[in-house]
Chains A and B, each alone.
Chain A
């Protein structure tokens, strides 16, 4: 038994000399191979571009998008300027309408369009 163990250890140690010699002998690594591998990596990068990060949109950007973007904003600004101009200059053509709409003589009526709802308003019916 002892002899067998010693034989195994001897074989292990002899084989280890061969393995060590092999471990210390690195195969030659050519620059050409490294260049080929890096070129492959680069062409892979060129074909698969990562998706651009999604930009965070701010409050005003979302508001602008909501009303239809810059063209709508231009129309809104133009209408506001015209409104201010009309108010300031008060052109004669506008005056009759303004007088009618803003005078104290203008009347308005409020009436009940649903008479059936009056049932709920009758007091002491029971």
Chain B
């Protein structure tokens, strides 16, 4: 099937095409899903090289499960987020013991006037603050507020109830507010309105 013809095909149907030997379907899925998989892994691990390994491993698992994939059973992206979350949890547990001094922090000399620089320092500050959250809170906050998923899907990914998701995101946001907004002056944020 021509590659362009696959742009409107749902993820799950592409996976079935791949399982039937269609290499173009694999290419379409790779280009469509890798940015999301990598982005989520980077946010969870705060390490680009490790996140790339996780993204490759998650996609490899996708290729392997393709022949057994049953349509209408689950959303492909939900399954992938879950795989990435589990792979990152494993890596984080192995790395446990990393001190707070190794966590990426916003640099003290970040200029506060230019909007571009302010965006960069917001991103750095958020990443630093996310690193200080408990793992489950961090995952829930990233899925809800950065990946933009709804609570029922997050519940499926994290294998918990919807109320537990709400509780995790609420506590996570409170902790982030304390960590980030207490440093507003230090980070030089002036246009927060």
Chain A residues in contact with chain B, CB under 8 A? 11-19, 21-30, 33-34, 36-38, 40-42, 44-45, 48-50
Shortest Cβ distance from residue B83 to the other chain A in the assembled complex, whole angstroms:
14
* A49 contact from B21, B43, B127, B192, Cβ within 8 A: B21
A21 with B126: CB separation less than 8 A: yes
Per the bound structure, the CA–CA distance linking A44 and B176 in Å amounts to 42
User: Which A residues are CB-close (under 8 A) to B51?
Assistant: 27
Minimal beta-carbon separation of B174 from chain A (angstroms): 8
Instruction: Report B154 CB to chain A, min CB distance, Å.
Output: 15
Contacts of B56 in A (CB 8 A): 33, 36-37, 40
Answer yes or no: B164 CB below 8 A from chain A CBs. Answer: no
- Tell me, in angstroms, the Cα distance from A55 to B174 when the chains sit together: 64
- Residues on A with C-beta less than 8 A from B149 are none
Cα-based distance from A18 to B31 in the complex (angstroms): 27
- The answer to whether residues A24 and B180 also contact, given A30-B52, A41-B18, A50-B19 and a CB cut-off of 8 A, is no
B interface, over-half SS: helix
Q: Which 10 A-B pairs have the closest CB atoms?
A: A41-B26, A21-B122, A44-B63, A27-B42, A18-B126, A19-B145, A21-B119, A37-B59, A40-B60, A11-B177
Q: Are A17 and B122 closer than 8 Å at their CB atoms?
A: yes
Report the minimum CB–CB distance from B62 to chain A (whole Å). 9
Within 8 A of A (CB), among B94-139: 119, 122-123, 125-127
- B27 within 8 A of partner (CB): yes
Cβ contacts A to B, 23 pairs, < 8 Å: A11-B177, A14-B181, A18-B122, A18-B123, A18-B180, A21-B126, A22-B123, A22-B126, A25-B119, A25-B123, A26-B35, A26-B39, A27-B39, A29-B38, A30-B52, A33-B55, A34-B31, A37-B34, A37-B56, A38-B26, A38-B30, A41-B26, A50-B20
Min C-beta distance of A120 to chain B, whole Å: 68
A27–B192 Cα gap in the complex (Å)? 24
Residues of the B chain whose Cβ atoms lie less than 8 Å from the Cβ of A25: 119, 123
CB distance from A96 to the nearest CB of B (A): 69
Q: Which residues of B contact A34 (CB under 8 A)?
A: 30-31, 34
Please report the C-alpha to C-alpha distance between residue A33 and residue B57 in the assembled complex, in whole angstroms: 11
Pick from A12, A22, A33, A44: contact of B43, CB below 8 A: A22
CB distance from B188 to the nearest CB of A (A): 14
Q: Is the CB of A15 within 8 A of B180?
A: yes
| Given A29-B38, A36-B56, A50-B20, CB of A41 within 8 Å of CB of B123 | no
Q: Flag if B67 contacts A38 (CB, 8 Å).
A: no
Q: How far is the CA of A26 from the CA of B36 in the complex (A)?
A: 9
8 Å CB contact of A19 from B31, B35, B126 = B126
